């Protein structure tokens, strides 16, 4: 395929740009010429799940995919915080308070609808032309303005302290790491996201995606 979209099930411990580079290499080798490939919204390196890649002429339409709603499944650890909001950051113990199921349900319900959210400083958002995570890694102060996002639905899949598993349908621009942190702050326990999987982007489902191994990519 040299023109169109490609659904990829991204593995953990790989950047979205890394996925793009590998698929570009394979498609270019198959076509005997350089094929343009781009993604339509990053997934954090620790996260897995659906990436929509655009190839060839379809790269001109990438923006229409970026603005689509998404569905995620996430595991949130209560009682601790992370400097990055995920397992890759510095972990800090907060307290051992164990909220009841009822307390967690009431707290989670507060986040459904239009909410204010501040994206993580370790994110791909551009500040003054540079990625926020580059600035954060350099130890510079990073101020990211809060934004309004929409949580269409947010359900508890399982709760066994300290792990809270959720499934949520959100608008474009929503950060699940920020959602996890905000839930923990509201509960008074602190929290960070230990696992994250994107299962849907609009009508596209990760069940229909290809793995990198399907393309013969093993590195």
Active site residues: 44
For the chain, the distance separating the N- and C-terminal CA atoms, rounded to the nearest angstrom, is: 21
β-strand partners of 52? 7
Closest listed residue to residue 19, CA positions, set 185, 60, 27, 138: 27
In sequence order, what are the residues at sequence separation of 6 or more whose Cβ sits closer than 8 angstroms to the Cβ of residue 172?
A: 41, 66, 67, 68, 69, 70
In sequence order, what are the residues at sequence separation of 6 or more whose Cβ sits closer than 8 angstroms to the Cβ of residue 90?
A: 82, 83, 84
Answer yes or no: are the C-beta atoms of 9 and 28 closer than 8 Å.
no
């Amino acid at each position: 395929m040299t023109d169109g979209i490609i659904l990829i099930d991204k593995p953990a411990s790989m950047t979205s740009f890394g996925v793009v580079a590998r698929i570009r290499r394979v498609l270019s080798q198959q076509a005997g010429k350089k094929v343009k490939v781009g993604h339509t919204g990053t997934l954090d390196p620790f996260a897995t799940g659906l990436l929509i890649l655009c190839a060839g002429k379809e790269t001109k339409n990438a923006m229409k995919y970026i603005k689509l709603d998404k569905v995620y499944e996430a595991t949130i650890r209560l009682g601790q915080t992370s400097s990055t909001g995920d397992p890759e950051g510095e972990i800090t113990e907060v307290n051992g308070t164990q909220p009841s199921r009822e307390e967690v349900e009431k707290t989670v319900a507060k986040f459904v609808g239009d909410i204010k959210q501040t994206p993580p400083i370790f994110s791909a958002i551009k500040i003054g032309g540079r990625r926020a995570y580059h600035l954060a890694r350099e130890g510079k102060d990073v101020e990211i303005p809060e934004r309004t996002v929409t949580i269409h639905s947010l359900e508890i899949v399982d709760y066994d302290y300290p792990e809270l598993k959720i499934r949520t349908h959100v608008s474009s621009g929503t950060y699940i790491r920020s959602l996890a942190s905000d839930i923990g702050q509201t509960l008074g326990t602190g929290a960070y996201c230990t696992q994250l999987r994107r299962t849907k982007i609009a009508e596209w489902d990760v069940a229909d995606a290809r793995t990198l191994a399907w393309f013969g990519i093993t590195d």
